[in-house]
Amino acid sequence: MAVHEPEARQSYLVFACGSSWYAVPAESAAEVVTFPELTRVPGAPAHLLGVFAHRGEVIPVVDMGLLVAGVSQSSRRAVLVRLPRGTLGLTASTVAGVSPVTGALEPLGSAGVLVHLRGPAKSGPRDVAVIDPEGLFDHLSQGA
């Protein structure tokens, strides 16, 4: 099986949600914000915490702890991931900054959100799950 390595020149924004570390391609990471009170979306799954207005756009905020591990991680900060189809806020308890990632980019699972998290990879000494932004958008847009 071919093992895909992260491109050496690609940089990632590395952040934590609880005890888990994630990396998102830097070109997709628009900014880190402290979000205001969220508006809940009726019928939304628990990991979709709500939405807020930011620069004229409605930004949905996803609790990465709930989405990935089923454990809520209270945080008022979010990494905004911007794609042509919209922007997504991912809760972040700590933001380490932009750095390279080494290791593999294989899906961490065969079902659910783990299909869109890649690894095993490292950023410095930290084990990180590399987020595939397009795949994560697809996963969440299907009502997951």
Partner 1 sequence: MAPASPVRGMLFCHAGPHRLAFAAHEVLAISSPGEEADAASARLAFQAPAGAMRVLVAASGGGVGVDTLEIDAESHPVLPAPCVTVHASGGSLRGFVLARGVLWPLLGLADFERFLRGLRPGAA
Q: Give the nearer residue to partner 1 in terms of CB position, either 34 or 142.
A: 142
The interface region with partner 1, picked from 41-49, 68-76, 107-115, 127-135 by CB under 8 A, is 41-49
* Interface with partner 1 (CB under 8 A), residue from 5, 41, 74, 124: 41
* Interface with partner 1 (CB under 8 A), residue from 10, 39, 74, 102: 39
Q: Which two tokens stand for residue 43?
A: 């019928």
Asked if 110 interacts with partner 1 (CB under 8 A), we say no
- Per the CB < 8 A criterion, the answer to whether 101 and 13 are in contact is no
- Alpha-carbon Rg of the chain, whole angstroms? 14
**Contacts with partner 1, 44-73, as mask; x by CB under 8 A:** xx--x--xxx--xxxxx-x-----------
CB of 49 vs partner 1, minimal distance in Å:
11
- Per the CB < 8 A criterion, the answer to whether 118 and 106 are in contact is yes
Q: Give the nearer residue to partner 1 in terms of CB position, either 27 or 134.
A: 134
Give the SS3 label for residue 129. strand
The interface region with partner 1, picked from 66-74, 85-93, 98-106, 113-121 by CB under 8 A, is 85-93
Asked if 78 interacts with partner 1 (CB under 8 A), we say no
Assess whether the previous peptide bond of 120 is cis (omega < 30° from 0): yes
Residue type, 93: S
Distance (Å, whole) CA 96 – CA 81: 16
CA distances from 16 to 61, 74, 78 (A): 15, 12, 10
Residues of the shown chain interacting with partner 1 in the complex, contacts defined by CB under 8 A: 37, 39-45, 48, 51-53, 56-60, 62, 85-88, 137, 140-143
